[in-house]
Chain A
């Protein structure tokens, strides 16, 4: 109800809009710097047609922006953009590609495939892949971390020029390079990559790389089709070396909780390690390529057969993982508790292998469990916090403690966490929230939130007279479960789908929402559709109360629901269960020009949230960072 900063509201939707444009709509995407691109296009060899360009770019990386058409490469040289989060990410990737080739001078000869790597166009390989083809780990780091100016300086003469005055120099460079030259360059690049594989570090080469990269681009563009097939493999293998270093750097300042799935090298690596074989869905929506999306239902049989082979995985973990996978356990708290119970069992059965220390070995063990769970389903933010807590407890164990004592301590810590942070917290939230329910209220809730359910039931027990509107949405229809429980207890309920929320909102006096997480800018990260409900409520001046335990708070800031999200099963939205007559999409699912997007979460800007009810009381969304600052340290890290 109280929008704290009204100005901000406007900008958000725009960003989202951009996301849903199909690759065919270049003007929108390119808007970041249209003039430059046009300049660039001209110099490029005729062979690279616009059409071709689009497809690769479409594959491309950037989570935030739609991938710019390929001619960007030259463009991107100049601006080595920073990270995934920055709107220019697309550029950053391409920038990497550019820098790669640097070493023609050093290693003139060697391999032919280098080109292919660069130009990979198969749908599965995303621009990230190309980026990953960077040879030396250090190089990548440079490009990723440093701002454009820094690079240019390092890169030495030619590159500097290119970067400083983009349009002119880049053009000229391209024009100058003859075919032979380009060839040489590419070979050099290949060599560099090969070298990089071996050594992993070649900072010195950075200077030359920039230049070469500029040159190479045209050639890439020219040969789009042939390379598709082999490209991905090369890229994957080569990238491994290159990507590590930047990873480390990133972790220092802001750890990325999740893998970027458009970063092929890492995906490949992860796949090798993976226990669960996931098949990736073919057609994915541009903006969300960095998120994992798998064909559902394919993994289970595979996992089952492996059940007895996997000794490192504790059976309890295995069970929980399967439950995540199949969707038997849903909801932040339930998942978190289930995970902790499984960890508890695993710890109970744990014995330190000889010549290892419990602290280190157990941490590693937990990490492997966690990565297994991530394979089953991406972690929620609350689970991430809980894991952080557990690992911290392990790390803080006194060395003198015997194994059994240590295990007992950990198990009691886990119990304490579940009890204090989840169960008691929820009770406190209920206590607070009930004070905001008055007789005659009409309360609206969306989806199924355990906290909201408890609030409603408790208020009903207190004899308050109110009505409940349960708003639900396909495909999960979690609201029906909530509705069932409420109706059984005798509450008077209305059930509707989110499509009707604007109609029903005018009679509503309070909106109670659950949350998967609350981020430190007050953004509420919750079940997809929540933002919609909150916005409608805001428009109708209905106060929006978000109920969220403080352990779900996260210090991250998120402005949209694109960077971090989860993709659900696309089949769930393309098919309607029990309605055989609605089969319009049968057989269309694998069409190239059809992309299905089933998002699981969305981000509600804090402007639409009137109040956040947590176990520390009722606070405005602007105070989330205060809670994070004051209490997180104390509870998680003490």
Chain B
């Protein structure tokens, strides 16, 4: 499932470009490398990297989307390629050195990301750990600055991905806020940092397993579970439940326009779990036969609410109204220091939508890919820190960040 992780499409395009005979874009290599800020930023386009990855994963390819994605990706590959060459060649401009390093982080990040089942945030964590390992800094301060730069470039690489940002922030917190910094000897301090970084990476890797174990108590025989979107955590939860010989039924929403539900139902069918597909608008219709709603999260925000695939909010509303519990499975590296007040109060992740028929140019299309579900509609969050109520999220965040 690695190809699902955000921004994968960028690499794929990049690799294709590299593998295939030089295409027109490569000519641009001769142009002077853009500044780091430009390169690190995802090209401004209608399509967020967040969605691009999803799209590539779900193979929703429309001509409209292709155009947009192509445009975006081309620009990005320019940056990436030029940076890549920059990394190899001697730094040209003043900022060259920095951008070279920045690229190496992203490179590392991308390498990690290719591992199946490795979440984006974990890949980022691994990449940052690699930064420490390869760092040539000679003082703690230098190392910290280097790390900070690396994480900044990772974050700005895909500003719309909450878990990437949160993962980087958490790593910085976890690694730098330690007594290691007080070690007199730089090398021992550094090795301690690496140690912590590795440990953090491991913890993050195990998170999904822990969540799956924790949630088993909540799935009882004969229950009907409604899922929305494709969440690897939720899949893991259900897989574990199936392995434990629990008898349950799953209702999958279709998940337009990505058809995430279709994929999810495929996975479940492989596990011999009875699955039923619903169109997204049939949620309220079938809510009375549902015992619980299980969703993943792109990000868990400070209010205790979640940001997740479009449609989560309305499912939560319906469930809340019918007194069905809404459970969220989310790893703790998705806890982000955001506090959206309403739906529009977050960086939008846009996605193209294929309606199957051409849309007149005068008609506007809502292209946001995510929505925000306020905490009062959530029952519990299953995280690797335990089963939490929404209000504990802020508690944890305060302890992590302050």
List the interface of chain A (C-beta within 8 A of B). Answer: 1-6, 436, 438, 510, 543, 545, 610-611, 616-620, 622-623, 626-627, 630-631
Q: Are A616 and B303 in contact (CB under 8 A)?
A: no
> What residue of chain A has the Cβ atom nearest to residue B341's Cβ?
A543
Given known A2-B374, A4-B376, A617-B402, contact A623–B395 (CB-CB < 8 A): yes
Given known A2-B376, A3-B376, A617-B402, contact A622–B302 (CB-CB < 8 A): no
> What residue of chain B has the Cβ atom nearest to residue A607's Cβ?
B376
Q: Are B391 and A510 in contact (CB under 8 A)?
A: no
| B167 adjacent to chain A (CB < 8 Å) | no
Q: Are A622 and B402 in contact (CB under 8 A)?
A: no
Q: Which residues of B contact A3 (CB under 8 A)?
A: 376
> Within the assembled complex, what's the spacing in Å between the Cα atoms of A611 and B402?
18
Q: Are A2 and B402 in contact (CB under 8 A)?
A: no
Most-contacted residue by chain B among A1, A3, A543, A626 (CB, 10 A): A626
Q: Are B337 and A617 in contact (CB under 8 A)?
A: yes
> Within the assembled complex, what's the spacing in Å between the Cα atoms of A603 and B402?
28
> Within the assembled complex, what's the spacing in Å between the Cα atoms of A1 and B304?
14
Q: Which of A438, A545, A620, A630 contacts B302 (CB 8 A)?
A: A620
Q: Which residues of B contact A611 (CB under 8 A)?
A: 303, 339, 341
> Within the assembled complex, what's the spacing in Å between the Cα atoms of A619 and B374?
14
> Within the assembled complex, what's the spacing in Å between the Cα atoms of A620 and B300?
13
Given known A436-B345, A617-B402, contact A622–B394 (CB-CB < 8 A): yes
Q: Are A1 and B394 in contact (CB under 8 A)?
A: no
Smallest beta-carbon distance A633→chain B, Å? 14
> What residue of chain A has the Cβ atom nearest to residue B337's Cβ?
A617
> Within the assembled complex, what's the spacing in Å between the Cα atoms of A610 and B301?
13
> Within the assembled complex, what's the spacing in Å between the Cα atoms of A438 and B374?
20
| B375 adjacent to chain A (CB < 8 Å) | yes
Flag B326-359 by CB within 8 Å of A: 1 or 0 each.
0000000000010101100100000000000000
Given known A1-B341, A611-B341, A617-B402, contact A623–B394 (CB-CB < 8 A): yes
Q: Which residues of A contact B302 (CB under 8 A)?
A: 617-620
Q: Are A626 and B398 in contact (CB under 8 A)?
A: yes
Q: Which residues of B contact A543 (CB under 8 A)?
A: 341-342
Within residues 293 to 342 of chain B, which ones have a CB less than 8 A from any CB in chain A? Answer: 302-305, 337, 339, 341-342
| B399 adjacent to chain A (CB < 8 Å) | yes
25 contacts between A and B (CB under 8 A): A2-B305, A2-B374, A2-B375, A4-B376, A6-B376, A436-B341, A438-B345, A510-B341, A543-B341, A610-B303, A610-B341, A611-B303, A611-B341, A616-B398, A617-B401, A618-B339, A619-B302, A619-B339, A619-B394, A619-B398, A620-B303, A620-B339, A626-B395, A630-B398, A630-B402
> Within the assembled complex, what's the spacing in Å between the Cα atoms of A64 and B399?
37
Q: Are B391 and A1 in contact (CB under 8 A)?
A: no
Smallest beta-carbon distance B363→chain A, Å? 23
Q: Which of A5, A6, A436, A620 contacts B394 (CB 8 A)?
A: A620
Q: Which residues of A contact B374 (CB under 8 A)?
A: 1-2
Q: Are B375 and A620 in contact (CB under 8 A)?
A: yes
> Within the assembled complex, what's the spacing in Å between the Cα atoms of A620 and B394?
7
**New A-B contacts (13) at CB < 8 Å, excluding given A626-B394, A631-B402:** A1-B342, A2-B375, A4-B375, A436-B341, A438-B345, A543-B341, A543-B342, A610-B303, A617-B398, A617-B402, A619-B394, A620-B304, A623-B391
Q: Which residues of B contact A617 (CB under 8 A)?
A: 302, 337, 398, 401-402
Smallest beta-carbon distance B238→chain A, Å? 29
* 10 tightest Cβ-Cβ pairs between the two chains A and B: A622-B391, A623-B394, A543-B341, A2-B374, A618-B339, A626-B395, A620-B303, A626-B398, A620-B394, A2-B376
> What residue of chain B has the Cβ atom nearest to residue A622's Cβ?
B391
Smallest beta-carbon distance A187→chain B, Å? 59
Q: Which residues of A contact B305 (CB under 8 A)?
A: 2
> Within the assembled complex, what's the spacing in Å between the Cα atoms of A616 and B337?
12
Most-contacted residue by chain A among B303, B345, B376 (CB, 10 A): B303
Q: Are A630 and B399 in contact (CB under 8 A)?
A: yes
Decide if the interface of chain B is mainly helix, strand, loop or mixed: loop
Most-contacted residue by chain A among B304, B337, B339 (CB, 10 A): B339
Q: Which residues of A contact B304 (CB under 8 A)?
A: 620, 622
> Within the assembled complex, what's the spacing in Å between the Cα atoms of A256 and B391?
29
Smallest beta-carbon distance A9→chain B, Å? 12
Flag B377-402 by CB within 8 Å of A: 1 or 0 each.
00000000000000100110011011
> What residue of chain B has the Cβ atom nearest to residue A6's Cβ?
B376
Smallest beta-carbon distance B40→chain A, Å? 22
> Within the assembled complex, what's the spacing in Å between the Cα atoms of A346 and B374?
51
Smallest beta-carbon distance B336→chain A, Å? 12
Smallest beta-carbon distance B314→chain A, Å? 16
> Within the assembled complex, what's the spacing in Å between the Cα atoms of A630 and B341?
25
Q: Which residues of B contact A616 (CB under 8 A)?
A: 398, 402
> What residue of chain B has the Cβ atom nearest to residue A432's Cβ?
B339
> Within the assembled complex, what's the spacing in Å between the Cα atoms of A107 and B98?
93
> Within the assembled complex, what's the spacing in Å between the Cα atoms of A622 and B339?
14
Q: Which of B345, B391, B402 contacts A620 (CB 8 A)?
A: B391
Q: Are B398 and A623 in contact (CB under 8 A)?
A: yes
Q: Which residues of A contact B345 (CB under 8 A)?
A: 436, 438
Q: Which residues of B contact A623 (CB under 8 A)?
A: 391, 394-395, 398
Q: Which of A1, A6, A627 contacts B398 (CB 8 A)?
A: A627
Smallest beta-carbon distance B385→chain A, Å? 15
Q: Which residues of A contact B376 (CB under 8 A)?
A: 2-6
Q: Which residues of B contact A4 (CB under 8 A)?
A: 375-376, 391
Q: Which residues of A contact B303 (CB under 8 A)?
A: 2, 610-611, 620
Q: Which residues of B contact A626 (CB under 8 A)?
A: 394-395, 398-399
Q: Which residues of B contact A438 (CB under 8 A)?
A: 345
Flag B249-283 by CB within 8 Å of A: 1 or 0 each.
00000000000000000000000000000000000
Q: Which residues of B contact A5 (CB under 8 A)?
A: 376
Q: Which residues of A contact B391 (CB under 8 A)?
A: 4, 620, 622-623
Smallest beta-carbon distance B292→chain A, Å? 20
Q: Which residues of A contact B402 (CB under 8 A)?
A: 616-617, 630-631
> Within the assembled complex, what's the spacing in Å between the Cα atoms of A438 and B395?
27
> Within the assembled complex, what's the spacing in Å between the Cα atoms of A50 and B401?
62
> What residue of chain A has the Cβ atom nearest to residue B389's Cβ?
A622
> Within the assembled complex, what's the spacing in Å between the Cα atoms of A308 and B402?
50
Smallest beta-carbon distance B202→chain A, Å? 27
Q: Which residues of A contact B342 (CB under 8 A)?
A: 1, 543
Q: Which residues of B contact A622 (CB under 8 A)?
A: 304, 391, 394
> Within the assembled complex, what's the spacing in Å between the Cα atoms of A192 and B339?
63
Q: Which residues of B contact A510 (CB under 8 A)?
A: 341
> Within the assembled complex, what's the spacing in Å between the Cα atoms of A438 and B337?
19
Q: Which residues of A contact B394 (CB under 8 A)?
A: 619-620, 622-623, 626
> Within the assembled complex, what's the spacing in Å between the Cα atoms of A510 and B305?
19
Q: Which residues of B contact A1 (CB under 8 A)?
A: 341-342, 374
Smallest beta-carbon distance A522→chain B, Å? 9
> Within the assembled complex, what's the spacing in Å between the Cα atoms of A425 and B341?
22
> Within the assembled complex, what's the spacing in Å between the Cα atoms of A616 and B302?
13
